[in-house]
Each structure stands twice: as C-alpha cells, then as structure tokens.
Structure 1
Amino acid sequence: MEWIERLNEVISYIEEHLDDEISNEAIGKIVVCPVGSFQRTFSLMTGITLSEYIRRRRLTKAAFELQSTDCKVIDIAVKYGYESSDAFCVAFKKMHGITPIAARQQNIKLKSYPCLAFELRIKGDVEMNYRVVEREDFRVAGKIVTSSLENNIIPEFWDQCKKDGTVDRLLEIGVNSSTLGMCFGYNDEGINDYMVGIETSNEGIEGMKYVVVPKSTWLVFESIGPVSPTLENTWGRIYGEFLPQSIYKQAALPTMEKYFGSDVDADDYRVEVWIPVVKE
C-alpha cells in the first residue's frame, strides 16, 4: 500500500507544480527509487509516459485559463513551461485540435485530461504465475541499442537483428535456444540501454557485446499469448498489482524478457519476465 501512496504523492506534487518547475530530484525523493525506474513503472501502469502526462495536464489547465481569463496567450504559454507562443500554439493544437486563440470562442470543444489517482486493486479472477529463482552469475552476449520512453525503437531493433543475422548468430553461441531482451534501466531523462542477446559460455565473438549478470534473486513471471499486447499487459500487472502487495522490491540489475520460439503472434507464445529483487 505504501507504493500506491507514494504514486499519489507524486501526482499531488505534479499538480502543485504544473505552473512551475517539476523536479526529477523531488520525484525521486517521494518514490525512494531512481527516477528512470519510476518513469518506466508509470508508463507501464498508465499507458503513457510521465512527460506526456505532465504535458496533457498543463495543456488542460492552459485551456481552462484561456476560456476563463483575459491573460495573454504568451503569458499562459510561459506559465506552463513553453518558451514561445509558437511552441505553445503547436502543442496546444496537437492536443486540442485548435489554436489557443480559437479556444477563446464560444461553443468550442476542447479536451480535458483529468488528474490521475492510483488505487490498489485486489483481483483474483486472473492469476499470475510466478516463481522465485536464485541464480549464480551468468554471461550474456548480444547487441545493444539506446532507446527511450518517448521514442521506443526496441521493436525496430529486434526486426533489424532478425534481418541482419544477429539472432541466428546468437542462437549458434547460446547455451539454449531462448533469446533475451535485457533492459539496463532508465535514467532520469527516460533513456535506456537495451540488449538483444542470449546466455552464453563463449566470449570474444566479433561484433558482440558481453555482460556478466551477478548472482541475484529473481521473480519470474509467465506471459502466454501474442507478444503484442500480452507482454505489455503482463508488465503492467507486475508493477500495478503484484509488486505493490509483495515483500519484494526491484534490485538495481537489468530486467530480462526470455523468449521461447519465433512465432511471436501465436496464441500460446511464451515469454518469461525476469525481475531481479531483494526483500523489503
């Protein structure tokens, strides 16, 4: 329950600072974890990035002020974090479909994005299969790309690795036939290094990067069904339902997705989600 309370504290902090600077440092102190990790959790739980949520709330507030006050457009733009009326105009039109000036007319339809509120849902109709695994250190080989919450290029990177033969080369050096997707953690700007790899005992393969994952305790969850949207839904349930109630918190190691087979659209396709943890 403490995690849900912290999430709502972050939302309250954001609401109080929509017309001011929103500090990553302050958010980190509230959630007591790296801001990058929180940003990913927020995105998985809500379906939008934290920065997009803040943008929508600010533009919702801006629309209210345009309709209820005589403040200049540039003053409202600056108040809600835009350096120029042109930048504000572009963002406002993208969300509301009209310009800030037009928003002051009568009978105009605008969009309003409400303030979020998190609550703990206790659900027993759909179980979550998981196990606790203690693993010694192991070696992973693969290729790494830098992605972000705002511009997620990981699906395209997987396609590239399949087309250029990287996945085939990984299967040749792996200790098994399960490829891995490793997320090394998001920084405060929502940037993340991601590896398409495989567990291996080899080293020094040309063109491959190597990572040694240290000994750790892992929670392992199953995702059964087409990768899209089943896997994302599984991540959402892990962060939104399981971890807030559990005795575990995520450790500062990469998370992993372990893929079994190649038909990612099959109804029985299986992925394991591996999360490194420590007990609270």
Structure 2
Amino acid sequence: MDWVNRMNKVIDYVENNLNDEIDSNEISRIMACPFTVFQRSFIQITGIPLSEYIRRRKLTCAAYELQNTDDKVIDIALKYGYKSSDAFSAAFKHLHGAAPSVIRKNNVKLTFYCRLYFALTIKGVDKMDYKIVNKAPFKVIGIRRTTPYGGGTWAIVKRDGSAETMKELSGHICDLGLCFGFGEDGSNDYMCGIEWEKEDIPEFDKYIYPAATWLTFEASGKISEQVLNHVWQRINQEFLPQSKYRKSGLPTIEKYVLWDDAADICKVEIWIPVAIK
C-alpha cells in the first residue's frame, strides 16, 4: 500500500499547486524514485502523461472560476500559468469546445476532468507469471529518437530502412524497444534496436546496460484487445506495489517476439530492470 499512498500524495501535491510550478524534485522525493521512473509508471497506468493530467485539471478549474466568479479572463489565465489570454483561449477552446468569453452565458457545454485517485485492486483469479533474470552487461544498437507518441520511432525505422538493415546484420528482426522516459509534453524517448556484441556502427545509436536484475513478463494475445497495455497496467498497478521490487531507473525493454497486424496477434516480452525496495 505504500506505493499507492505515495501516488495519492503526488496527486495531492499537484492539486495543491495547480496555480504554481510543479516541482519534479518534490515528486521524486514523495515517490522515493527518479522523476523519469514516475513519469513512465504514470503514463502506463493512466494512459496520459502527467503534463496532460495537469493541463486538464487546470482548465477544468479555470472553467469553474469563469462560471462562479467575476474575475477577468486574463487574471484566471495568469493564475493557471498561461502568459497571455490568447494562449489560454486556444487551450481552453481545445479542451472545452468553447472560448472562455462565452462561458458565463447559459447553456454552454463544458468538459470536466476529475481529480485522480489511486486504489489497489487485487484480482486473485488472474495470475501473473514472471521470471527473475540476472543478466550480464550487454549492448544494444539501433535508432533512438524522441517522438510525440510511443510508436513514433518504430515508424521511423520501418520507413527509412533501418529495421531491414538491422535484420540483415543480426539475422533476425529488429526486436528490442527501449523506453528511456517521457517528456513533460508526453513525448517518448525511445530506441528501436538489436542486441549487439560486435564493434559499434557509426550510423546507429548505442546503449550499454550494466549488469542488472530483471523482471520479465509476457504479453501474448490479440493486438486489437490492447494486450500489451493491459499487461503493463497490471505490472504497475498490481505486481510492483505488492512485490519487494522497484524499477531501478534503467530503460525498460519490450522484446517483440511476434507482432502480426494482419493476424491480429502478438507476443511481447517485457523486461524491467529492478532493485530491492
């Protein structure tokens, strides 16, 4: 329950500081882990980046104040971190579908996003199979990019021929996806690559893992049923909070054993470097 309590304390901190800067160092202190680790867990559990949650909550509160106070639009905009009424108006209209100037009129439809609350849910009938693997240092080469969404780097390597080149070099498909973390805007620092024991290749990025202990899980089933996301959610919501392990901060790995869009089937190994709590 300690993990769940810490997540709720982070939300308390965010909610109490919607009018101020959100300090990533304070979130790290509350969670007792690096901020990048928290960001990865947050988006895997909720499906949105922390920055998007904060944006939605700020604009939800701003709508309430527009309806229930006589404060000027620019004052409310500044209160919630927008430096101009134009920037505030554009963000407000994108979320609510209406400009701030018309909110005080009757019969205006608005969007409301609730405060998040985390609770531990135990599903005893649904087992989770996992392995503990102690792995020596190893190197991955590939293409590392920061893109607006998780699959962006895969699109790049498939389009520019990098995936095919890595297949020719290794004798198997480009099968590793390394997640380094998410930016404040929800962008994903991600690397598509292969395990590599030979000399570096100039046109490819590289990442060297130190010796580490890994938790491994398997996501196998229909792509259309979001099986990979479902397993990630269970890892973060059920397994890690109750286990003696925590993420170490090294990039997690998704190893794509099979991914067939036409057949709507996948088999993905999830590798998580961990340390003892």
Equivalent residue for 1:272, pick from 269, 272, 275: 269
Q: Which shows bigger deviation, 248-257 or 160-169?
A: 160-169
Aligned residues: 276
2:24 alignment partner in structure 1: 24
Checking the alignment, whether the CA contact within 8 Å between 2:258 and 2:268 is kept in structure 1 is: no
Give the C-alpha shift of residue 192 in structure 1. Answer: 5.0
Once the two structures are superposed, the pairs formed by residues 211-226 of structure 1 within 5 Å of their partners are 211-226=207-222
Q: Which runs of 4+ in 1 moved over 3 A?
A: 175-178, 185-193, 264-268
Instruction: Confirm or deny that 1:84 pairs with 2:63.
Output: no
Give the C-alpha shift of residue 102 in structure 1. Answer: 0.9
Question: How has the CA–CA distance of structure 1 residues 136 and 155 changed in structure 2, closer, same or farther, with 3 Å as cutoff?
Answer: same
Question: How has the CA–CA distance of structure 1 residues 32 and 265 changed in structure 2, closer, same or farther, with 3 Å as cutoff?
Answer: farther
Q: Which amino acid aligns with 1:279?
A: I
Question: How has the CA–CA distance of structure 1 residues 175 and 277 changed in structure 2, closer, same or farther, with 3 Å as cutoff?
Answer: farther
Q: Which amino acid aligns with 1:5?
A: N
Question: How has the CA–CA distance of structure 1 residues 175 and 213 changed in structure 2, closer, same or farther, with 3 Å as cutoff?
Answer: farther
Deviations 1:94-115 (A, max 9, x none): 1111111211012222111111
Deviations 1:67-100 (A, max 9, x none): 1111111111111111111111111111111111
2:170 alignment partner in structure 1: 174
Give the C-alpha shift of residue 124 in structure 1. Answer: 2.2
1:209 alignment partner in structure 2: 205
Deviations 1:153-192 (A, max 9, x none): x423212312333222222333765610112344677665
C-alpha RMSD over aligned residues: 2.1
SS in 2 for 1:104: coil
SS in 1 for 2:272: strand
1:8 alignment partner in structure 2: 8
TM-score, normalised relative to structure 1? 0.91
Checking the alignment, whether the CA contact within 8 Å between 1:225 and 1:270 is kept in structure 2 is: yes
Q: Which shows bigger deviation, 69-78 or 194-203?
A: 194-203
SS in 2 for 1:19: coil
Checking the alignment, whether the CA contact within 8 Å between 2:163 and 2:174 is kept in structure 1 is: no
Q: Which shows bigger deviation, 125-134 or 261-270?
A: 261-270
Give the C-alpha shift of residue 142 in structure 1. Answer: 1.3
SS in 2 for 1:261: strand
SS in 1 for 2:60: helix
TM-score, normalised relative to structure 2? 0.92
1:161 alignment partner in structure 2: 157
- Alpha-carbon distance between aligned partners in 2 of 1:163 and 1:17, rounded to the nearest angstrom: 43
User: How high is the sequence identity, in percent, across the aligned residues?
Assistant: 48
1:232 alignment partner in structure 2: 229
Deviations 1:121-157 (A, max 9, x none): 001233222111111112222121123xxx22x4232
Give the C-alpha shift of residue 251 in structure 1. Answer: 1.0
Question: How has the CA–CA distance of structure 1 residues 32 and 4 changed in structure 2, closer, same or farther, with 3 Å as cutoff?
Answer: same
- Alpha-carbon distance between aligned partners in 2 of 1:95 and 1:24, rounded to the nearest angstrom: 25
- Alpha-carbon distance between aligned partners in 1 of 2:29 and 2:262, rounded to the nearest angstrom: 41
Once the two structures are superposed, the pairs formed by residues 20-169 of structure 1 within 5 Å of their partners are 20-147=20-147, 151-152=148-149, 154-169=150-165
**Runs of 5+ consecutive residues of structure 1 not aligned to the other structure:** none
Question: How has the CA–CA distance of structure 1 residues 183 and 260 changed in structure 2, closer, same or farther, with 3 Å as cutoff?
Answer: same
Checking the alignment, whether the CA contact within 8 Å between 1:226 and 1:265 is kept in structure 2 is: no
Q: Which amino acid aligns with 1:58?
A: K
